[in-house]
Amino acid sequence: METKSRYEVISNLEEQKRKLIRERDELNDKVKDKENYVIRLERQKEDIAKQKKNFELKQENARQDLEREKTEYDFKLSNTEAEIDRQIEDAKKDLEYFESTVENRKKTIIELIQGVNDSLGRFGKLQKAKD
């Protein structure tokens, strides 16, 4: 069984602490990324509505020739729009859940950091007692 030096133990604990701090600090960025994703999906839906309107204006001039094409297009468009609606709904639920758990995640990370700090303190006391 390999034993680690006190420097290796301290180094490992410090590295663990740094990783936890980085993870805690990145949570707000993750929320912002998820908000931006919802915005992008909503804009995509708006763009589809604009595309539909533009198409309908163009097809008005040649309605008889384009009736079959319009039917096919509307069918494809409605499927795409329904799919994006589901994606938006899922993204909003994901964002809502993530936002509701951010504070608990932060508290947990803070507790883990405190645990690392306590371990470092106990390790330091043991080393002082040895010396």
pLDDT digits (tens, 9 = 90+) for 61-111: 667 665 777 778 777 777 788 888 898 999 999 999 999 999 999 999 999
**pLDDT over 70 (residue 44):** yes
Q: What is the mean pLDDT of residues 41-67?
A: 82
Give a yes or no: residue 17 inside a domain: no
- Is residue 108 a part of any domain in this protein? no
Residue 55 neighbours by CB under 8 Å, 6+ apart: 70, 73
Tell me if 19 is assigned to some domain. no
Structural domains counted in the chain: 1
- Judge whether 129 lies within some domain: no
In a domain, 4, yes or no: no
Q: Is 32 part of a structural domain of the chain?
A: yes
How far is 93 from 83, CA to CA, in rounded Å? 15
In a domain, 116, yes or no: no
Range of the domain at 89: 25-101
Residue 81, token pair as written in the block: 């729009």
| Dihedral in degrees, nearest 10, Cα atoms 73, 77, 78, 82 | 160
